[in-house]
Amino acid sequence: MGFVGGTSRLFMFGANSTEVHGLDGFLRTLDRRKDPTRRERGLITGMPAHVLNDEAFSTFFTLGQILPTHRLAHSPLGGLFQPTMIEAVRLMSRQPFTTPYSSPTSAPPVDPSMSSPDITDPFSSPTHHTYTYSTNGIDTFPAPSAYANRQYSWIHIFPEGRVHQHPRKTMRYFKWGVARLILEPDVCPDIVPMWIEGNEQIMHESRTFPRFVPRAGKRCGIWFGENVGGKGDTVFQELRSKWRELVEEDRKKEGGRDFAMGVLSEGLKHGKEAVALREECARQVRGAVLAVRRKRGLPDEDPKQGFVETWREEGGGKREGKMKDGSWVGDI
């Protein structure tokens, strides 16, 4: 991760002109989190996704990610309730997590190939996978949430879940994964919205050969917003209160059964009220990013930009490439 970060910084500030706003406040937030034993909550940062739709470029940045993720566009194992989301919710929390992920009758088989960093876990019994977890029942990955120094972690997200480059710098709707990271942890995380621009010119979707080479000499900017989460009286605290009420109602329906942190019943996955809460939470996060966009000096966008239906219509069933509204879309 250090190599990825260092190389990216060298390119952004050496080969391009990059300005940063609001960094001092964000660095103070990071300074308060240096000691893992004194952290009081997790940290979520998020911004629009402008680049990554290139195999070589994507591979470079995956060297810095810590959680393996399946994408529904490529695998039926993807989606909002995949095992990696359980791990992400736990990284926003603090142990104990009450119960293990599951209680299978036997340990899942381990894939011995080099395609997966499988780890034999000497500390866990065959029925309690505490230090490792599987994304598909075959592979095995270390579970970072099992370690005390990872409590209340920092997770950076791209809530649009797609590369989106619009000539008016508008955003797509935000997907609901971010809502799980806010609603389900034991305390509300700090939430720092960000705005970034210029990167889309470095790796624009319309670029020609050689596509894998980032373009230099571009003007880029990064804006950090204020913390909109945490322990204050915020809209996210209100949404979390409603979520806890839903969890308690569901617990009664389940006969008093308690689920492990990050594990949801069918009612909390697909129930009408649960879905509505996740939609509203994602909408509020998007609104926080829009506030930073507005502070940067960009005009307000059309409110319809935040709805799923808008992008279904604009894309016309097309997943990638140039859309009807002039935007360029690609998979991350």
- What digits encode the pLDDT tens for the residues 240-278? 999 999 999 999 988 888 888 999 999 999 999 999 999
**β-pair type (17-21, 219-224):** parallel
User: Residue 227 has what pLDDT?
Assistant: 95
Does the model's pTM come out above 0.75?
Answer: yes
Cα–chain center distance at 208 = 30
Report how far residue 30's alpha carbon sits from residue 322's, in angstroms, rounded to the nearest whole number. 38
| CA–CA–CA angle 217, 218, 221 (5° rounding) | 140
Mean pLDDT in residue range 77-92: 94
What the block records as the tokens of 195 is: 């705005």
Query: Considering only 66-70, 79-83, 134-138, 220-224, which range has the smallest mean pLDDT?
Result: 66-70
The pLDDT assigned to 263 comes to 93
Q: Helices marked H in the chain — which ranges?
A: 2-10, 23-32, 55-62, 83-91, 177-183, 199-202, 235-253, 266-270, 272-296, 308-315
d(CA 158, CA 262) in angstroms, rounded, equals: 20
pLDDT at residue 213 tops 50: yes
Give the confidence band of 314 by pLDDT, cuts at 50, 70, 90. Answer: low
For the residues 28-32, what does the mean pLDDT come to? Answer: 95
Q: With bands split at pLDDT 50, 70 and 90, how would you rate the model's confidence at 111?
A: very low
Predicted pLDDT of residue 127: 40
Q: Quick check: 64 pLDDT over 60?
A: no
Highest mean pLDDT among 5-19, 116-130, 224-238: 224-238
Judged against a pLDDT cut of 70, whether residue 115 lies above it is answered with no
With contact defined as beta carbons under 8 Å apart, do 71 and 78 qualify?
yes
Q: Which residue has the higher pLDDT, 3 or 158?
A: 158
259 exposed, middle or buried (CB, 10 Å; 0-12, 13-18, 19+)? Answer: middle
Name which residue leads in pLDDT, 162 or 290: 290
Q: What integer pLDDT is reported at residue 15 of this predicted model?
A: 83
Phi-psi region of 134 (alpha: psi -120 to 50; beta: other; left: phi over 0): beta
Q: What is the mean pLDDT of residues 317-326?
A: 76
> For residue 5, with 0-12 CB atoms within 10 Å meaning exposed, 13-18 middle and 19 or more buried, which class applies?
exposed
Going by their DSSP bridges, the two strands 321-322 and 328-330 should be labelled as antiparallel
